[in-house]
Copies of this chain bind each other. A is one copy, B any other.
Amino acid sequence: MIVTVNNDSDVRGVRDGLVRLGLWVERFDGSAGTQFVVGPHSAAVDPDDIRAIAGVSAVATKKSPHPKLDAMPRTVQAGGVRIGADAAPVVMAGPCSVESEDHVRRLAEGLAARGVRFLRGGAYKPRTSPYSFQGHGETALRWLRKAADEHGMGLITECMGEEERDLVAAHADLIQIGSRNMHNYSLLKSVASTGRPVFLKRGLAATLQEWLLAAEYCLAHGSPAVVLCERGVRSFDTSTRFLLDLAAVAQLSHVHRLPVVVDPSHATGRRDLVIPLCRAALAAGAHGVMVETHADPAAALSDGPQAVRPEVLFGLLEEMGLPGPHQRRSAS
């Protein structure tokens, strides 16, 4: 925002009023008098509260670049589960890659019995090396859907490319766009055009603004709703895999009032930090957590070191007050 001051005698008063509202300001002077530009890490404030400061002659604002996102309901429904401000926190759990029908089935059974409402699992995997395991594809999708259905769970899985889009859309309740594809605008449009809700992971160096604009792409191209997922950003410290940005989560939840979920498994890569950071995420305002879970992490075909055994989640689920086994989800 740009705040224009009536005249010289008001400059100090206006500055004080802006600070009192929690705004960082830079002062500019010219032939038209003094103006303040509100800086980027200011508290969110209603422009009318600024106009009410004595000595302010005009406030100029920027048009929101994401009008559809601003108008989206605060709580999203997918796979029979509600995610957002008006719903209880959700847990999404399952393996990084799906390895066998049997494994995913038993895992789903155990998780559902403890209140996990969303099954996650990778059928198509984005791998840094072309020589790494790339996922079981369509077969894995069927295993996942079946396991989710048997236990009344919603299903979330990633779509990496346009060629698998229709298959993923036919099986998943929430289609995940992975971190490495957040800026892949062709994919955003393509996935959105299926009319499914999107689970949009933050790009590994995306600003909050870029992330919101990627969500706007989804809404502008046919998706009814977006759930945002914070999974850590690139940083210089190597003791965690990425740097989990819970202040972004607090902003999304408390300022933008959008549904947001946190994935501490990918953020840290460290099994020993997953549970405390799930707690921290929920305390910061997250509406859910996504946790990489595997019955035997050593057998995982990808990212085994960061997966936890299902039992490790149980304490957290109890703290969250999640009930026991759920009914099958109603037909969507």
Interface flag for A87 (CB, 8 Å):
no
**A20 pairs with B298, CB closer than 8 A:** yes
Knowing A234-B205, A247-B240, A251-B239, the reply to whether A162 touches B180 (Cβ < 8 A) is: no
Knowing A35-B2, A205-B234, the reply to whether A239 touches B40 (Cβ < 8 A) is: yes
**B205 pairs with A205, CB closer than 8 A:** yes
Question: What's the tally of chain A residues with a CB closer than 8 Å to chain B?
Answer: 108
Q: How many copies does the complex hold?
A: 4
List residues of chain B with CB within 8 A of the CB of A245.
235, 237, 243-244
**A17 pairs with B163, CB closer than 8 A:** no
Q: Looking across the interface, which residue of chain B has its beta carbon closest to that of A45?
A: B272
> Residue A237 contacts which of B24, B207, B300, B306 (CB distance < 8 angstroms)?
B207
**B250 pairs with A280, CB closer than 8 A:** yes
Q: What is the CA–CA distance of A269 and B283 in the complex, to the nearest angstrom?
A: 19
Q: Quick one: CB contact mask for A6-43 with B, threshold 8 Å, 1 for yes? A: 00000000001101101110111111111101001111
Interface flag for A204 (CB, 8 Å):
yes
Q: Looking across the interface, which residue of chain B has its beta carbon closest to that of A47?
A: B30
Q: What is the CA–CA distance of A138 and B190 in the complex, to the nearest angstrom?
A: 19
Q: Quick one: CB contact mask for A215-258 with B, threshold 8 Å, 1 for yes? A: 01100110000000000011111111101111110110111000
> Residue A269 contacts which of B24, B204, B241 (CB distance < 8 angstroms)?
B24
* Complex A-B, nearest 9 residue pairs according to Cβ-Cβ distance, in ascending order: A161-B186, A205-B205, A30-B60, A180-B183, A28-B60, A32-B58, A280-B284, A20-B298, A40-B238
